[in-house]
Structure 1
Amino acid sequence: MLPMLLFAGLAAAAPLFARASEGIWGIAPCELCMWQRWPYWVAAVLALAAAAVPRARRLLAGAAILAVLASGAVAAFHVGVEQGWWPSPLPGCQAPRATLGGSVDDMLKSLSAAPSKPCDAPTYLVAGLPVSMAAMNLLYALGLSGLGLIFWRRGAIP
């Protein structure tokens, strides 16, 4: 039960840290950044359920580990977008483009209601460290899922 509570806390820590970085350091998230957070919340809920329901503990723990890996997969995709290896299919990831022709009112209407950061512009938390927030999330997701698998293999999740 204790390993699952630890896993739940560590899963919830990732999106909480991302949200705190917005308020503390003024980091603006892009659409892919937001997508990376949801699997952590799912993992935290699944891990709490695993701690509370002994009969389904291994199944729920496995699902929680997979949810963290899903966030890692989105992060890996995001790193590829940042590096220019492929474009993001999400419309919110595209930088607003000026259109030629039409009136100024038409151009203003075509803009999104809230400014969004393009997904191919990496955000670096530590100046001089060439690891973007998306890359840090990928490393964190791999580490956390690895910890979950260690718990799984060592019988900490009966």
Structure 2
Amino acid sequence: MSAFDDPPNVAKTAAVGSAILLGGAFLFQALGYAPCAMCIWQRYPHVLGIAAGLAIFAGAPLVIFALVGAAAAAATSAFGVFHTGVEKGWWEGPSSCTGSGLDLSRMSAVDLLPGALNKPANLVMCDEVVWQFLTLSMASWNALLSALLVALWLYAWTVNGRASRKNKARASNAADL
């Protein structure tokens, strides 16, 4: 029996995947790559995916929490796809964090960021790529890797459903004897 035959282990693996992606985001931030607003949005669903994994670890029903984890991973993947599109100029992003927003040139640092005179600020626009690997930005990598997490969560849910049906069939056959 492999680890992929055990639905709770697959679900926990997906939750660990969310933890790794979230940890990676914080690591990049610690290395000086400040996140934009859309980068922050992509982090919240990972927290929900981690919570779903912890719930399964604590004995909560996989049939429910695997779907919660899949939905969370799908949401962060969708945010990543949207963010990638904004970075590539395929569509406009929120005016609050893209170059298509308000004319900021007439505003002072104090108007833009209260307390800016006390400490330097690092304003990151959502339509600018600050880091990329193999021509993919952090948002693109998050979208791709989170889509893989969706597949893991749904695989766990499917295998769990099959196992439940087999167990019910066995119990029914045993009762008939």
TM-score, structure 1 normalization: 0.82
Q: What does 1:113-124 correspond to in 2, within 5 Å?
A: 113=114, 114-124=121-131
Asked whether 1:63 is paired with 2:68, we answer yes
* Aligned partners of 1:43 and 1:68 also within 8 Å: yes
Q: Hey, what's the Cα distance between the residues in 2 that align with 1:123 and 1:68?
A: 23
Which residues in structure 2 correspond to 1:31-70 (within 5 Å)? Answer: 31-54=37-60, 56-70=61-75
8 Å Cα contact 2:66-2:154 kept in structure 1: no
Structure 1 runs, 4 residues or longer, greater than 3 Å off: none
SS of equivalent residue, structure 2 residue 160: coil
What is aligned with 1:78?
A: 83
Q: TM-score, normalised by structure 2?
A: 0.74
Residue 85 of structure 1 deviates from its aligned partner by 1.9
RMSD over aligned Cα atoms = 2.1
Q: Hey, what does 1:9 align to over in structure 2?
A: 16
Residue from 85, 88, 94 that aligns with 2:98: 94
Structure 1, unaligned runs of 5 or more: 100-105
Q: 1:141 aligns with which of 130, 140, 146?
A: 146
- The residue type equivalent to 1:153 in the other structure is T
Counterpart Cα distance in 2 of 1:18 and 1:48: 20
Match status 1:107 vs 2:117: no
Deviation at 1:90, TM superposition (A): 5.3
Paired residues of 2:41 and 2:79 also in contact (CA < 8 A):
yes
Structure ID, larger Rg:
2
**3-state DSSP of counterpart to 1:119:** coil
Whether contact under 8 Å (1:65, 1:148) holds in the other structure is yes
Code of the residue aligned with 2:80 in structure 1: it is A
Contact residue 43 and residue 67 of structure 1 kept, 8 A: yes
Deviation at 1:29, TM superposition (A): 1.2
Deviations 1:30-81 (A, max 9, x none): 1101110110011110121123234x32111111110110001111110111
* 1:6 CA drift (Å): 1.9
Determine which of 154, 160, 177 is the counterpart of 1:155.
160
Asked if the contact 1:51/1:57 (under 8 Å) is kept, the reply is no
Q: Percent identity?
A: 29
Distance in 1 (CA, whole Å) between partners of 2:14 and 2:140 is 21
Work out the number of aligned pairs and report it. 147
